[in-house]
Structure 1
């Protein structure tokens, strides 16, 4: 396919451009358009390919723990333990199924995105204006653009003038004027006064244009291609879990290999030694870890979806919790993306009658309809009239209008005529010179120099405050004179006043910014809008702490990488104005190079590259473009900035809860491994206290639901009052391992071992003596039941990392209570049902055994509660130093 469209100089005069495109003012013939469609391809954006499900499914079987379990299954098969091999394979399939299904559900949640380009366009074919599919436009076509249309391709105006909403490309909230006879001004293409671009919307006017670029050769196509570069990187949680699983796998293999010769030297046969090695591997591998993490993240995804955020990748929930910097767009993200009148200036001072006259005149001098997506300025004027009690019905306004002098980009004003009355609105520097009189408290009077100076000073004051200012005037004369021509009609005007408006911040944004600051997160504004306007909005919502540093796109382009690093490294929140897509991408990469976890918000096509590159790209679902939603990791269905902060809180809670159930799962490795060590080190003199199938019953049966319930634990006090954790802080750290293996694990192992030997002592066993099958089954059942009992205590201990259990409520996690109830029922079924007794080698326990086991949960929880109380007595500062990834302000 040719790349000829990219070589067109769209800024050359129309006659030369037509010659270059081999076209003319009447457009192309249908046969020529069809030929060019074959050469240039359809006018549509190519999308990044989605991941194929076979590859995703295969990836689930290449996880370190899955590979390790496969090795264990193979060893069991060669050791002629077919039932064990089948059980391990079932574990592998269960893990892979959980992860795969959840990833698929998360991806399908955002697959239904509409095409970004409009479906059809008005185009000249064979000299006639026809409706044609937008995807069939080609370079050289002549299209017509009118108010309310979305531009279908990059084009050069050849007649007429339009106002276009470029916010999707440059972030500016105010429409830009484009005219066919605009002066050729050097500078960026987006600022060219004669060009319109694919994906932008026409808010006023009518024009014809010749298409210069289509599809991926347009500006929107260039940005879309830029946003698709690179590959999706693993999140912090994915990297940490992968690292942890490799460590676990290496430790399990090392333990199995090390103790295999020990078992042989101790007098075990090779078959028994292999079985022993498999038992060590299975005991060390937390089979429920991966599905539990997957389900916890999936629960976070569902929770965020209910709160207005659709997450495309499960791990993105945790990434949000790691966020250190938010880079936010202004228009439509911090603001409502709609103008609102905030100030009125009346020559005679504020009076209701004069204010109503001003509002009525301003609303009558519009062409927008209240239900339309027209010019935001005109929609704001219609709302102003309604608020002042003089609503203007659009249909009645249009029917009564006798003349319309459309907005002229050169004079920067427009006028409408209704009977004997003309209404004018426009830039103050355009309207004020035409005014000779003024409407004040006493009626119509001469416009004095003092009043003119006051109006000019007011305009300057409003402009410095970041407001957009319009002057509104009227003239009463004969209908014939007012309709005779613009030059005669727009003279001798009476000034009614000034209207100042702004694109207001969203109501929830200031509180959300304050919450982000409290959580130690910096917020930078990156926008294509005017610097002072963006700085004003930033100050209103609390960004910059009243000291806004504004950096323009030109200043950013002139900065070297070292200068940009110093700018971003001084801790100040910055407003980047008039930024380009490349500038946004550069800021994002500079922050990431400094170790920050960057959340990039935006809704326009210009945001897509940075959304793609950021650790977590957050796009707007209602006002955002499909290109932005495609590039983002999370889509806000309510377009609410506050949802981002709620998502960050959810991400932090998810990470903490992952640590809680990792602690819970790891704590049982010690009581599961110790029985095998006792068996091996005794040379078989002590019978094996626990079977491999009983371990699998613990890891996949009694353990899973309580672990999932810990994944839904509510946040500890002070969650959003602590700084972001370091990206290097892992899910598994020294303090977690100490609690899991050194405290809870050892305590559980002591209790479980005591229960096993107590059962042997009651059966009259002596070291090295034979043991009947029933007595042996009862002893291993005591070990199995002891671990289950210790799991209950561990579950309550794991609910908090630092705070006391009482501070969050002993019975506040109902899911955990249900999980423990299931755990007890599941264990009872394995112990008391004869068919399952034969499979798992269990035996019914009597009242004495159950009474012996009853204190286990309280003892395990009590040891950990004492440890956390000791930490609290040492003070929060010491506790924070010991566990930077799980700080809490609770004391």
Structure 2
């Protein structure tokens, strides 16, 4: 079998092959019938039954599901899950049963989410089956017979009529139909399919005599012979591609694993070090072990994943309000790191609503006047669209645009009166490439024949001297502008004449009225969205099944490809080397026209192979494999197919490209917020560690400034709510003016560690130790003085440890405000703009007050009531922590504005820069 028969080019990679067709549908019809052992009268019922046993049912088959138990075990031994298992075990060892059970619940929830995601591809394949009709009209034993579509076999002759779904891939042998192929090609204009010879070298989907399973006949009538069923159809091939592509972990999911291991390593190291130090300074082994376990449990990030999940969930809810439904939480963050968007044209960049854009009349060109009104009225009369009770037009979108255009030009056509005045209707014939009507003409009292269709078809039927040369030039010019061009011509019959038939050359001897140019206009908000993409360093490519000239016109109108746009008219012919050159080495934005499922998949694979984070939009069945393969698959909610929506990770409820840009901004905000609460959590490690270093380095001369239960109260009680609230922070100014972050950049950077451990942490540790020593020295303590139970200084020691505990909590407040911004001043985002953070701070202060002043809790946590002067001292800690970090950020903003501008200029590619921008 040839490559052409499979719909693939020799240059396409072997990793995504189309299933081999048993029969070559492009060969001459007589030879195809011989190979299929069939004829015009179809198969006998017995032969059909035999072939059904050989070829199997005509349905999309799904690969066998893997064992549920195996998938569950795989999720439970995930690296982060193993870390959480260890944390739960330590919690139970330390006697913290509630914490242990909570961690086990987190493990279960995480595993359930992951299992649901793994089933996503299987759901997409199951949805493909809905596109197959339940029944088909097949010719068996020489007569038409309604059979179940799943029982069709190669060699069956099927009958197709207007409104039918095509039940299998077939070659038209008689008649002609117009078929909506948008689910496979993405092209909005119906395609003509007729009994004709094939085109040499044409891709399978562009063969003029082939129809494909799952598509819909919108006009005409035909017979066709089935050459492929089940998995060998285009629909089956797409199902195979969808099952072959699998989702990979998002950048955030990979980074979370690294963060979890880093924190676990630090926590384990801290526990081991303090176990040794505790024994070395003379602490009882049981006390040292208890302290080490408490320190380890307190620092294991059991709350990290829930906190990240909440931040992502907030992003999901925000996007839902903007018109984007995200099916996988991590997709929100992935969008934030996206640096390439591959978008469809129809319905995403455009409205998917054809509009009458241009007119050309014989002798008057584009000049308005009564001749232009006559042209648009005649074109609207030559339509078959209907209007419902609500006034909505139904039918071919091109014809609906003609009716609407006539009203816009002041010559509305009443659909009901049009039908009443119609004497004959000659439907669109794919072989003739035109349609015509015979209408009563109120002006002359006679009849008028109006024809419309492809310019070359209509111009061949007009009378000599009808400006045909000028019309051809005008048609070429309109087509270059991205419009669909139709020619309209008419012939008047004298009063009393009988309506002619098509066989009587009703469509001959016409007079050219002119040309109409129809256009699917871009959405008004897309140009601004594209500009924002370019400012953010995001490249935008168009991957469409439409014509190159049409897509290029839309691209230029919305600003894609400014200043360089490259149009690939025949995307099927692209090899890997050429894709590398275009997508990686070149500096232009690209229009990939006439794209097949493999083309989209190859584009996504090429970009991924070179480290790009790819968002791919799609609405058709043909888009499902690429939507799976891209980092972010974005499906259309209104115009999209169920298969695309199942395959995608995000669904646009408004089908609007601008919503993708909003999602990119939301993703960047979520990523920033993840980093903010990691800074917040890390900053408290230093003030928790320093007191024990002081204890260890003083060889016990300085008593322990903090107890294990107080550490747990901080890390599991006071710290949690503010950390969660930081996941709700608004975007910092300029978030969409910076380039996408490098793929290799981790969630944790060196600057973050310096800021959290070395700056915020050290300031907090110093303040905490000041409060601790202030209470002891006020009571007359000297290094080495006993502070144990029964000693004169014991109450002062308990008060001092309480001051340490309360001081760390108040430093957390200052850290929370400082962590809200990475570069900007706090006033730029608003001091009170995060009410959840304010509520979280109020809770932790109330919780701390309860531990300090409620007698029952004092006995449990080893605290004592703080005097007023100590409270006033500790109350200054939040301002000092936040204030010192605010000064640090202000100094950095003054020192690095020119450096930031130069980095941005280098990071933003040349194609994203604009004049005046």
Q: Is the 8 A contact 2:72 2:115 kept in 1?
A: no
Q: Give the one of 809, 823, 831 matched to 2:844.
A: 823
Matched, 1:808 2:829: yes
Partner residue in 2 for 1:442: none
Query: Is the alpha carbon distance of 1:863 and 1:286 closer, same or farther for their aligned partners in structure 2, counting shifts above 3 Å?
Result: farther
CA 1:25–1:697 in 2, change beyond 3 Å: closer, same or farther? farther
Deviation at 1:65, TM superposition (A): 5.9
- Counterpart of 2:566 in structure 1 is 549
Residue by residue over 1:758-813, the C-alpha shift from the partner in whole angstroms, topping out at 9 and shown as x without a partner, is: 33445555535133376554433322221111111011111111111112211122
Please show how residues 717-728 of structure 1 align to structure 2 within 5 Å: 717-728=733-744
Does the C-alpha gap of structure 1 residues 499 and 747 become closer, same or farther in structure 2, counting only changes over 3 Å? same
| Contact in 2 for aligned 1:172/1:527 (Cα 8 Å) | yes
Structure 1: 5+ residue runs without aligned partners?
A: 437-446
Is this contact kept in 2: 1:481–1:488, CA < 8 A? no
Query: Could you say if the C-alpha distance between residues 838 and 23 of structure 1 is closer, same or farther in structure 2, counting changes exceeding 3 Å?
Result: farther
Task: Confirm whether residue 424 of structure 1 aligns to residue 445 of structure 2.
Answer: no
Conserved 8 A contact 2:537-2:907: no
Structure 2 residue aligned with 1:120? 134
> Is 1:677–2:698 an aligned residue pair?
no
Partner of 1:665: 681
Q: Which moved more, 1:354-363 or 1:371-380?
A: 371-380
Aligned to 1:701: 717
In the alignment, the residues of structure 1 paired with residue 634 and residue 84 of structure 2 have an alpha-carbon distance, to the nearest angstrom, of: 37
- Alignment TM-score, normalising by the size of structure 2: 0.87
Identify the residue that residue 597 of structure 1 maps to in structure 2. 613
Q: Do residues 257 (structure 1) and 272 (structure 2) align?
A: yes
Does structure 2 conserve the Cα–Cα contact (< 8 Å) formed by 1:266 and 1:684?
Answer: yes
> Cα deviation per residue 1:128-181 (whole Å; 9 max; x = unaligned)?
656655445444444332233332321222322011122222233332211124
**Which has the larger displacement, 800-809 or 147-156?**
147-156
Contact 1:120/1:131, CA 8 A, preserved across alignment: no
- The CA distance in 2 between the partners of 1:594 and 1:720, in whole Å, is 23
TM-aligned CA distance change 1:821 to 1:60, over 3 Å: farther
Query: Which residues of structure 2 form unaligned runs of 5+?
Result: 1-17, 441-446, 909-917
CA distance in 1, matches of 2:829, 2:583: 42
2:911 corresponds in structure 1 to none
TM-score in terms of structure 1 length: 0.89
DSSP-derived class of the 1:720 partner? coil
Deviates more, 1:508-517 or 1:10-19: 10-19
Q: Which moved more, 1:182-191 or 1:51-60?
A: 51-60
Could you tell me which residue of structure 2 aligns to residue 795 of structure 1? 816
1:609 aligns with 2:625: yes
Displacement of 1:221 in angstroms is: 1.7
**Cα separation, 2, equivalents of 1:834 and 1:109:** 54
- Measure the CA separation in 2 of the matches of 1:883 and 1:59: 42
In the alignment, does 2:584 pair up with 1:573?
no
Is 1:301 matched with 2:312?
no
Q: After the TM superposition, which residues 282-321 of structure 1 pair with which residues of structure 2 at under 5 Å, given as runs?
A: 282-321=297-336
Which of 344, 364, 367 pairs up with 2:384?
367
Quote the Cα distance in structure 1 between the aligned partners of 2:119 and 2:808: 40
Q: Is the deviation greater in 214-223 or in 638-647?
A: 214-223
Residues 658 and 644 of structure 1: is their aligned pair in 2 closer, same or farther, counting only changes over 3 Å?
same
The superposition leaves residues 406-440 of structure 1 with CA deviations (integer Å, 9 ceiling, x where unpaired) of 3233332211112422111112222234333xxxx
1:347-426 aligned within 5 A: 347=362, 349=364, 350-370=367-387, 374-419=395-440, 420-426=447-453
Q: 1:791 to 1:468 in 2, by over 3 A?
A: same
Q: 1:417 to 1:886 in 2, by over 3 A?
A: closer
Moved more, 110-119 or 867-876: 110-119
Find the residue that maps to 1:254 and give its secondary structure.
helix
Contact 1:157/1:209 (8 A) holds in 2 = yes
Deviations 1:19-47 (A, max 9, x none): 55455545566676667656544444346
Partner of 1:526: 543
Cα separation, partners in 2 of 1:106 and 1:587, compared to 1, 3 Å? closer
Report the count of equivalent residues. 869
Distance 1:11 1:269, change over 3 A: same
Asked if 1:89 corresponds to 2:110, the answer is no
**In the alignment, which residue of structure 2 is the partner of 1:231?**
246
Secondary structure of residue in 2 paired with 1:331 = coil
Q: Judging changes above 3 Å, is the alpha-carbon distance between structure 1 residues 243 and 642 closer, same or farther for their aligned structure 2 residues?
A: same
Report Cα offsets for 1:490-529 as digits up to 9, x if no partner. Answer: 2222222211112222222111111101111111122222
Q: Aligned ranges for residues 1-400 of structure 1 at < 5 Å? A: 6-12=21-27, 17=32, 20-21=35-36, 25=40, 27=42, 40-46=55-61, 62=77, 67-68=82-83, 70-71=85-86, 74=89, 81=94, 83-84=95-96, 86-93=97-104, 95-96=106-107, 99=110, 116-124=130-138, 129=144, 134-183=149-198, 185-347=200-362, 349=364, 350-370=367-387, 374-400=395-421
Contact 1:116–1:625 (CA under 8 A) maintained in structure 2: no
CA distance in 1: counterparts of 2:47 and 2:503, whole angstroms = 42
Residues 25, 883 of structure 1: CA spacing in aligned structure 2 closer, same or farther, 3 A cutoff?
A: closer
Aligned-residue offset at 1:18: 5.1
| Partner of residue 492, structure 1 | 509
Residues 743, 883 of structure 1: alpha-carbon distance in 2 compared, 3 angstrom cutoff = farther
SS in 1 for 2:131: coil
Q: Is the 8 A contact 1:611 1:632 kept in 2?
A: yes
Please report how far the alpha carbon of residue 396 of structure 1 lies from its aligned counterpart in structure 2 after TM superposition: 4.6
Give the superposition deviation at 1:220: 2.1
- Superposed displacement of residue 361, structure 1: 1.6
